[in-house]
Amino acid sequence: MAEGLAIGFANGVLGKLGEIVAKRVLNEASLLLNFRKDFQWLQKKFKDISGYLEYADEQSGLNVSVKRWLVEVSDIALDAQDIIDECAVEPLYTTPTQSYVCRWRELVFRYKMGKRIKDLKDRTSSTIQKAQELNLVHQILHSSHHSTSSSERGAELKRSSTLESDSRVVAMDDKVEEIERLLEEPEIGVVAVVGIGGLGKTFLLQHVYNRAKQRYEHSAWISVSRTCSLRTLLCDLASHINLQIDSGVSDVRAAELIHRQLEGRRCLIVLDDLWSSSVQGDLIQRLGLPTSSNNQCKVMVTTRSRDVAAKMGAHIYEMQQLSKVDSWNLFCLFAFPDSKENRPPQYLESLAQQIVEECGRLPLVVKTVAASMARSSALGVWESKVRQLKDLGGADDCTMQILKLSYDSLPSNLKSCFAYFSFFPEDTEIYFTRAKDTEDIHQDYLIYLWIAEGFIPHENGKELWEIGLNYLHQLVDLCLVEVNIALSCYTLHDLLHDMVINISREHNCEFHLPSQDSSCRRLLLGKKGINNGEISESPLHRQRFLRTISLSQNPEITSIPEHLFDRLRVLRVLDFSRTAISALPKCVGNLKLLKVLNLSQTEIREVPDCVRRLKSLEYLDVSGCTSLQCLPDWIGELKSLSYIEISYCTKNLYSNMPKGISGLSSLRTLRSHPFPLFTEENELLNVEDVGNLINLQEISFSLEDERALRSIQDKYVLEHLKKMRIMYVENNIPPRECDIKESSLPAFPEKMNVMKDLQQLMLARFSVPSWICGMVSLTELTLWKCSDYPSLQNIPNLQSLVLGKDSRCRELPEKFGESGGFPKLVRLLITDFSRLKELPVLEEGAMQRLEVLSIGNCPRVKKVPKGLERLRRLKRIEVEEVSGELEERLREGGEDWSKIKVNNPRIQIDVDY
């Protein structure tokens, strides 16, 4: 299943070789110069190989020899990439002196590299000869770019988001109501939704859970998966119900503590994706869940096994396949999103109906195949798809094979990127907004992993990160990656996760510690329950071709063997996140090609000195390291560093940001809690230093004095803030005596409007300037403890607005509700307005795209804004800590509830009592 990856690897090497031959990556000190003729020869031969690849990929399923040939090509391409990268980075580890030692070192390196290149050339020649012996057709190469423009990318994500939400309501409402009725039955404690993979069991319970959880004192959504341990489930459940379980507490005792916490209280627990291997005995009892008839604890379960449901004594709700009508409607929604009423042209209708029939009425399969067809209206393509699906009709794993067709149709670069989702354990959520807590995985991490592996090709004038984000959006658009709008995250369906695991396995990727004789390129051991002894006893140190190691989420790992990485010279990704290590072995400093180092949520007390030698390092994450007191000043020596994550660390760390950061000219993201920017010259990062970060696009800082506020407007500093995309600025300037009144806040500097690309802005304790309304790229705005809200309704592309912690505001500007105001706003959150009495009246045509309205801790607000009932896209109203009058009006049958439900019966109204 991984044959298509060979094309991507070969094209990636061709791109690198092309840059070398064209001298775009050469300089006088580069060792690449010594082998330029060899690289010219390899470029020519790789062009020949690429000519065979597309035809070979098509034949690989029919011919085992061709399949083996493609694996050989992949290995050669990866080895070539390693050689090029090692030659490029070696000069960074040598001094410019002509000493005997340095000269000898270079000669030894050239000798060894020359032998490796000769071996690579011999293998390349042999591979071309084999292609000819296999009678592979050599095709003329055409340049093909599968990326899209920024505007197209935005349209894709917007369309995907709309389709994601629309698809959930296809034949869903009746099922949601059935489950809700079952939860109200006093004798039913456990409801199990049972059915084969791809039916939408999780989607169904997400709807029920989101609608019902506000009616319970405690609620928890727990993703189980097939390899999850009882201990992990107990800890996850405890964290959701505000219960601390110490490491020394036994599982039995932990279950007793959970039972005591929940007994007699209304609680709603979801156990998603239970497998028979996850369940030993009565899992409900082992988790301490009080589900007997005299308790008010309700448990909902999704599982593919009736036996699993029966073991729990659950009421079984059998999930059925879609009806023919619903299957057709869902297919058309994704296959013809831009046509009138989402219907096919007449010449494709019969073929579309045949495809729907072959998809087996499984929602996942229907929408994935439909999305893959949306890119073409050619009759021949649709006829070919019908033939492919009919050929698979009798296969035992028909569903997986149909999903595989969507993978096969991907461009080569997207194949590599999609397969790399196997890096993350099952049920991982990847967030596309700023992290909410230390366990969140952000989309940036995924994209930097792709970059480290060489999956993202260079395109003229574009950043690799932007291209990677484009790829992610394309995978969303093809329904291979799902978007959860409510949680602002991406997820992968478990069937598709199984598929990428299989793809990765066939391409030298291991998910268990390697044996004595094995050889692999990627070792993904996240969440595998591995401990120190297993690592020490394994032959891991012999895997010299390893490019990626993930030991993430193995809390029993407390140390790493000292010589583990001595021979892993081509390692590019190292993930120790959520382990208990407190130090790194010094041999990590030998990893010259390492680009990604993830130490988040570990016990490290300092960034070790060995990291100083990682000249290729681009991504460093130490977020959630609560023992880490500071960053080293030498961090400025890591000239390739593009991303630093230091959120959720100690306050001392943010108070002592080293000046060395100012030397990171490649730094793109400095993700942290706000750290103080002063103006005096010392060993800490100051305002002028920020001006040296010429590529910086994300930063959070606080201004501590008037001079800092003036300095941030300096022409030199502003010039280098033009690229900013995400910024958090907090005003900590002590008020002057004449401005002691809380209402006197400094204005956010007008000169900051040079940041034309700003997408997310968070301000704290500022008077909001009117010029902010002209920021056309701004999509997310958070105003915390601010004042003087100008005409925010005129910000053209604003999608999310958060207003919080204003103890002075009695009323918001009336223009907030004017017709045409907030044309693209999707989410409005107003919280902690202690004096606010009412919300502006919404005129006809105001906030037409609003989907979520949230009001929290506004005790004087007595009713929702007039005109809210006209918002047809509104899906959710959330209120918490509001007046009793507003609660009454929004309760079922209340005045506002009835008015809104008449016009929008599907809306969800959550009132926290």
Three-class SS of residue 643? Answer: strand
How far is residue 248 CA from its own chain's centroid? 33
What are 371's two structure tokens? 């999305």
The dihedral built from the CA positions of residue 731, 736, 740 and 741, taken in this order, carries a sign that is: negative
- Other C-beta atoms closer than 10 Å to the C-beta of 341 total 6
pLDDT at 892: 79
Rounded to whole angstroms, the Cα distance separating 418 from 421 reads 6
List the beta strands (DSSP E) in 738-850: 760-764, 780-784, 800-804, 827-831
**Contact (Cβ atoms closer than 8 angstroms) between residue 267 and residue 221:** no
DSSP letter assigned to residue 845:
T
Question: What does the CA dihedral 210, 215, 217, 219 come to, rounded to 10 degrees?
Answer: -20
What are 900's two structure tokens? 């809104």
**Contact (Cβ atoms closer than 8 angstroms) between residue 498 and residue 179:** no
The dihedral built from the CA positions of residue 473, 478, 480 and 484, taken in this order, carries a sign that is: positive
**Contact (Cβ atoms closer than 8 angstroms) between residue 590 and residue 615:** no
Rounded to whole angstroms, the Cα distance separating 141 from 10 reads 13
pLDDT at 142: 46
pLDDT at 122: 93
**Contact (Cβ atoms closer than 8 angstroms) between residue 445 and residue 621:** yes
Helix axes 324-335, 150-168, angle to 10 degrees: 170
Amino acid occupying residue 35: F
User: Is residue 83 within a helix (H) or strand (E), and if so which, with residue range?
Assistant: helix 64-89
Rounded to whole angstroms, the Cα distance separating 325 from 311 reads 35
Q: Which of 798, 740, 723 is nearest to 768 (CA)?
A: 798
What are 521's two structure tokens? 């390129």
How far is residue 476 CA from its own chain's centroid? 12
pLDDT at 164: 46
Q: Residues 6 or more apart from 865 whose CB is under 8 A from it?
A: 817, 838, 839, 840, 841, 842
User: Is residue 852 within a helix (H) or strand (E), and if so which, with residue range?
Assistant: strand 852-858
Q: Which of 140, 223, 416, 186 is nearest to 297 (CA)?
A: 186
**Contact (Cβ atoms closer than 8 angstroms) between residue 618 and residue 641:** yes
Q: Give every residue of the chain whose pLDDT is below 50, as ranges.
A: 1-2, 28, 141-168, 740, 742
pLDDT at 674: 92
**Contact (Cβ atoms closer than 8 angstroms) between residue 291 and residue 265:** no
The dihedral built from the CA positions of residue 336, 339, 343 and 347, taken in this order, carries a sign that is: negative
Give the Å distances, CA to CA, from 745 to 113, 687, 739. Answer: 63, 21, 8
Backbone angles phi, psi at 347, to 5 degrees: -75, -15
How far is residue 190 CA from its own chain's centroid? 32
- pTM, to two decimals: 0.85
**Contact (Cβ atoms closer than 8 angstroms) between residue 369 and residue 355:** yes
DSSP letter assigned to residue 658:
B
Helix axes 324-335, 346-358, angle to 10 degrees: 120
Rounded to whole angstroms, the Cα distance separating 282 from 303 reads 15
Amino acid occupying residue 432: F
| 64 CB-side CA count, 13 A | 0
How far is residue 263 CA from its own chain's centroid? 37
* Residue owning tokens 């082992």: 286
Question: In 540-657, which ranges are continuous DSSP H helix?
Answer: 651-655
| 504 CB-side CA count, 13 A | 24
Q: Which of 303, 330, 299, 300 is nearest to 319 (CA)?
A: 303
**Contact (Cβ atoms closer than 8 angstroms) between residue 545 and residue 521:** yes
Beta bridge partners of 597: 574, 620
Cα-atom radius of gyration of the chain, to the nearest Å? 29
* Residue owning tokens 């067709």: 405
**Contact (Cβ atoms closer than 8 angstroms) between residue 241 and residue 265:** no
Q: Residues 6 or more apart from 274 whose CB is under 8 A from it?
A: 224, 283, 301, 302, 303, 305, 308
- Other C-beta atoms closer than 10 Å to the C-beta of 493 total 21
